[in-house]
Chain A
Amino acid sequence: MHNSNIPPAWDYNPSSRKQRNHLVITAVAGLCIALYLGLYQLHIFSTVWDPFFINGSKEVLHSSVAKSLPVPDAFLGAFAYLMDAAGAFIGGEHRWKTSPWMVLFYGMVVGPLGMISIVLVIVQPVFLHAWCTLCLCSAAISISMISPATDEVLATLQYLQRVKRHGYPVWKAIWGDEAIRSKVQ
């Protein structure tokens, strides 16, 4: 009974495969879009698909904002999506407790990626006066991953809170210390 993967005072396990599989698929979809846009920014593709804003995608993706970094900004997004996909995939069904570092790292990738996406959505009309359909799709994908990912982070933080209240070192618990895990539920 006490070995259950469901955190105390929860009624489901946020680390279960069922909870995480769709996040892997979503992140891979985001990765594909970001890679496609990045290849366009590198001029490997000469045109970019955009059914709504005829010149918008071109203006946004070849804008000064998009070129402000040494690599096309879409590739940074692609890297974050890759981290997201890996972060959602790796680890067992009790990782909220066995690998807190992994869950915390995952949360630290998903959260900021969503925030940066929203900033980029604001930049498009305000500074570039143009919209880009696939950029908006990518932003929608990244904000749709925030909430489904954060329940696991909450379960982990609550576990670490219990570790602290019981007087065990939190730092050790973050790396999945087994002795602590056997004493704190």
Chain B
Amino acid sequence: MKAQLINVIAGIWIIAAPYLFGFNKTAADVNHIIGPLVVLFSFIALWEVNRSARLLNIITGICLLLSPWVFHFSPPFAFTINTATGAVVMVCSLFKGKINHQYGGGWLSLFRKSPPHLQMTDERTVN
């Protein structure tokens, strides 16, 4: 959960950075599109049941990391900010953190042959 909190802050930082350091318009637009998505995914992932939403930030992290190579970024400091924050977002999205509650097998259960919630009801029926 701490890793996802870091990503929420990283997302807000990415949105604020163009104003703080006077990014050019293209660079600012990139940050203003990716930043809210980073916040969205990590915020949703703060809750255990949707912790998997953090994995979407691997994609946004890579986009951030690569953005200065694809688009024209100025000042030079903008390059550093986006690559560094992109790396942080990517790494933090890999940490699952503790899961304290049970959710019948979670979202993946819907695609499994024998998820925990079905096993449990089948046992009850046999007994």
Q: Report which of A12, A147, A158 forms a contact with B44, defined as CB distance below 8 A.
A: A147
Closest to A125 in B: B32
A165 touches B124 (CB 8 A): no
B84 at the interface (CB under 8 A from A): no
Given contacts A114-B40, A118-B40, contact A151 B49 (CB under 8 A): yes
Interface residues as binary, A1-28 with B (CB distance below 8 Å gives 1, 0 otherwise): 0100001111110000000000000000
Interface residues as binary, A111-135 with B (CB distance below 8 Å gives 1, 0 otherwise): 0001000100110011000000000
The count of chain B contact residues (Cβ–Cβ below 8 Å) is 32
A147 touches B117 (CB 8 A): no
Chain B interface SS verdict (over half): helix
In the assembled complex, the Cα of A64 lies from the Cα of B45 at a distance in Å of 34
What is the CB-to-nearest-CB distance from B4 to chain A, in angstroms, rounded to a whole number? 11
Interface residues as binary, B37-51 with A (CB distance below 8 Å gives 1, 0 otherwise): 101100110110110
Closest to B40 in A: A118
Residue numbers in B under 8 Å from A55 (CB-CB)? none
Q: Report which of B29, B33, B109, B124 forms a contact with A2, defined as CB distance below 8 A.
A: B124
In the assembled complex, the Cα of A157 lies from the Cα of B111 at a distance in Å of 11
Given contacts A2-B124, A11-B102, contact A161 B110 (CB under 8 A): yes
Given contacts A9-B104, A9-B105, contact A147 B40 (CB under 8 A): no
Residues of A within 8 A of B (CB): 2, 7-12, 114, 118, 121-122, 125-126, 143-144, 146-148, 150-151, 154-155, 157-158, 161-162, 165, 184-185
Other A-B contacts than A158-B104, A161-B110, 11 sampled, CB-CB below 8 A, are: A8-B116, A9-B104, A9-B115, A9-B119, A9-B120, A118-B40, A125-B15, A126-B32, A147-B44, A154-B49, A185-B121
